[in-house]
Amino acid sequence: MTSPSCILFAGQSVQESGMCRDLWGIPAAREVLERLVPSLGDDLEAVTTTMPGPELSLTFNAQRAIHAHHLGHLFAYRALHPDLELDGAIGHSVGVVAALVAAGAMTVEGSAAFVRARAQAFADACKGFDAPMGLAAVSTDFLPDLADRVDAFPGVSLALHNTIGRGTLGGRMADLTAFAAAAAAEGWPVKLRLLEVEGPYHTEAFAGCEAVLAAALRDVEIRPPEVPVFMGTSGRRETEPEEIKRLLAAQPRALERHFDAVWAAYDHGCRSFLEVAFRPQPVTWIRDQLQDEDGEPMPGVTTTAVRTADLLT
């Protein structure tokens, strides 16, 4: 019997054309796809298997595809490993919805209804911007050290904190470009890369989504999770259904504290981290998250990355 695992699910940006082409041939994955279609759309299989990259990157398509991808991989893995035992679940951004399913707090159907509402709310917000907006991946030695420099650019804010030195800035493209120019001109120890997204997710630009998602969640049952869910909106262990709903509604405008969520899982006792995906991502960050003051890995931590090909028998 293997030790319990804390399961990880990635957020938006991992979508890739054809990412579920092989997955839907697995009976357990095909079954979950059919359960998702009524809410996520009759085009869901095409979105996840044949849709070209530029179209798939649109918010409405990306979030639906990523959630289907997550649950398909989860159920396919469980079919092969019926003795899988979890001691926690973490979802990066939209991945938190799959984490709630894995933890037994949401049904497949409830998660699909919520992701549909979330994807639509995000897409609608993007259509309302009066200027080009987006995100920039940022890399430095210690991300909090950038706080003062970010504060000097009112149009820029930290949107996601992923590892010790990596995160994402959000804001108007003009302000992000100005920030990058200042970093280059003044020799700041930071690297920036503009991302191909429709908007600055997890910033105040998405404040209007909160009421929409709160309304959608009134029709979605959330039960006490069977294992803790470590949510990026709070960066903490969450077990109370009403608080989970509040955090889900607030997530579009809130800093995604993924780094803190991983540490909360470690502090809770999680040591084995698992990700099952077409191209695993957050499990590869663990080494850059769980470090001691000398930059050495925290003791006892193991990671397992399972790809679609590993599920094919």
Q: Which helix (H) or strand (E) holds 264?
A: helix 258-268
Q: How far apart are CA 42 and CA 178, in angstroms?
A: 42
Domain ranges of the chain: 5-127+204-311, 133-194
> What pLDDT digit, counting tens, does each position of 156-178 carry?
999 999 999 999 999 999 999 99
> What pLDDT digit, counting tens, does each position of 29-56 carry?
999 999 999 999 999 999 999 999 999 9
Q: How far apart are CA 237 and CA 46, in angstroms?
A: 36
Give the DSSP per-residue string, 155-174. Answer: TEEEEEE-SSSEEEEEEEHH
Q: Read off the pLDDT band of 1 (50, 70, 90).
A: very low
> What pLDDT digit, counting tens, does each position of 101-118 carry?
999 999 999 999 999 999
Average pLDDT of the chain, as a whole number: 96
Angle between helices 108-127 and 27-40 (to 10 degrees): 50
**Could you tell me whether strands 302-306 and 133-140 are parallel, antiparallel, or unpaired per DSSP bridges?**
unpaired
- Indicate if the pLDDT at residue 229 is higher than 70: yes
Q: pTM for the whole thing? A: 0.97
Q: Average the pLDDT over 63-71 and give the result.
A: 98
Q: Is 300 left (phi over 0), alpha (psi -120 to 50) or beta?
A: left
* Residues 6 or more apart in contact with residue 146 via CB below 8 angstroms: 138, 140, 158, 190
Residue showing tokens 């050495």: 296
In one-letter notation, the amino acid at residue 232 is: G
Please return the burial class of 110, using the count of CB atoms within 10 Å of its CB with bins 0-12, 13-18 and 19+. buried
- At residue 2, the pLDDT reads 72
How many angstroms separate the most distant Cα atoms in the chain? Answer: 56
Question: Which CATH architecture describes the domain 133-194?
Answer: 2-Layer Sandwich (3.30)
- At residue 313, the pLDDT reads 72
Give the DSSP per-residue string, 67-82. Answer: HHHHHHHHHHHHHH-T
Q: How far apart are CA 151 and CA 265, in angstroms?
A: 30
Q: How far apart are CA 102 and CA 279, in angstroms?
A: 19
Question: Which CATH architecture describes the domain 5-127+204-311?
Answer: 3-Layer(aba) Sandwich (3.40)
- At residue 3, the pLDDT reads 87
SS3 assignment, position 86: strand
